[in-house]
Amino acid sequence: MAGAYDDRDGQIWMDGKMVPWRDANVHVLTHAMHYASSVFEGERAYNGTIFKSREHSERLKKSAEMIDFDIPYTVDEIEAAKEATLKQSGLSDAYVRAVAWRGAGKDMGVASARNPVRLAIAAWEWGAYYGDAKTRGAKLDISKWKRPSPETIPSHAKAAGLYMICTMSKHAAEAKGCSDAMMFDYRGYVAEATGANVFFVKDGEVHTPTPDCFLNGITRQTVIGMLRDRQIKVVERHIDPGEMEDFQQCWLTGTAAEVTPVGQIGDYNFEVGTLTRDIADGYEKLVRD
């Protein structure tokens, strides 16, 4: 599948039925377009099976609750809809996007309790998120934007509005020839990339930021389990930016990113080492088992 995302063949599951891809549209006065009342999940299918599918569906429901709306489908119904969408796509390896939002209705202001909540699911082919960085290591800029305090936003929701500063950060990074940007948090600690969690290696131990003001990714949790199964010590803690000078290896994790080595963050350089390769290869094997 190629071309603009609004001009493709295929079908998208929308509010309980399959609709032609080009007809999967919303009204310009949809509440989510104006007030960011939207949550989503990015998932990957391997060999015809969506990895950690139910965990993603459960998180979608929880994210909606965190931004004050209820998705009118059960987890089981969302699971069935995703399976139907994947089957309809004819793809065995695919990216699956579920998105729920407050639609157009009787309210068109900040408050929107009377507007219907809608759900759509699409699937398409999508290769490596960072291209050849999976072999040579990604180059990251350091963003000027910081992940906000959880007192200001529902930081553990996978909500569309929380990605505004991520989009700006990634655009700025790409303009500098980088793959992505590393973001610090409101206290100045290392947080995450624009859409992926980060891990560092020092003297055989793995260090990763505590997800107390950003998403504790499903891939992040999976990789921590893999490391502990290998008897490798994992330290979850606040990490000062200056500590990156002493870390030897680094990688990113996320559904889209999978496990991607990092070669550079700002002025800090890392080797694409044995442990990074082992975890990347192990993750690839895990998702395809």
The CATH number of the domain where 44 resides is what? 3.30.470.10
Phi/psi for 272 (5° steps) reads -90, 85
Confidence of residue 169 (pLDDT cuts 50, 70, 90): very high
Residue 135: the pLDDT is 78
Catalytic residue chosen out of the listed positions 61, 82, 134, 158: 158
Are residues 69 and 140 both part of a single domain? no
Mean pLDDT, the chain, as a whole number?
A: 96
Give yes or no for residue 68 having a pLDDT over 80: yes
Task: Please report, to the nearest 10 degrees, the dihedral formed by the alpha carbons of residues 48, 52, 57, 59 taken in order.
Answer: -150
pTM: 0.95
Instruction: Write out the two tokens for 73.
Output: 């489908």
Give yes or no for residue 1 having a pLDDT over 70: no
Give yes or no for residue 2 having a pLDDT over 80: no
Are residues 99 and 154 both part of a single domain? no
Instruction: Write out the two tokens for 288.
Output: 């395809």
Give the side-chain half-sphere CA count within 13 A for 155: 18
Give yes or no for residue 233 having a pLDDT over 60: yes
The CATH number of the domain where 148 resides is what? 3.20.10.10
Domain end position, chosen among 77, 95, 124: 124
Domain containing 223 equals 133-288
Element (H, E) at 156: none
Residue 131: the pLDDT is 81
Q: Is 62 a catalytic residue?
A: no
The verdict on residue 4 lying in a domain is no
Total domains in the fold of the chain: 2
Residue 61: the pLDDT is 98
Scan for tokens 């303009």, then name that residue: 175
SS3 label, residue 222: helix
Instruction: Write out the two tokens for 168.
Output: 């700006």
The verdict on residue 2 lying in a domain is no
Give yes or no for residue 70 having a pLDDT over 80: yes
Q: What's the Rg (C-alpha) of the chain? A: 19
Domain end position, chosen among 84, 107, 124: 124
pLDDT (tens digit per residue) in 99-147: 999 999 999 999 999 999 999 999 999 988 888 777 789 999 999 999 9
Sign of the Cα pseudo-torsion (51, 57, 62, 67, in order):
positive
Domain end position, chosen among 124, 157, 184: 124
250 within 8 A of 241, measured Cβ to Cβ? no
The verdict on residue 6 lying in a domain is no
What are the residues whose beta carbons fall under 8 Å from the beta carbon of 121, sequence distance 6 or more? Answer: 12, 13, 14, 78, 81, 82, 85, 96, 97, 98, 99
**Which 3-state string (H, E, C) describes 74-128?**
CHHHHHHHHHHHHHHHCCCCEEEEEEEEECCCCCCCCCCCCCCEEEEEEEECCCC
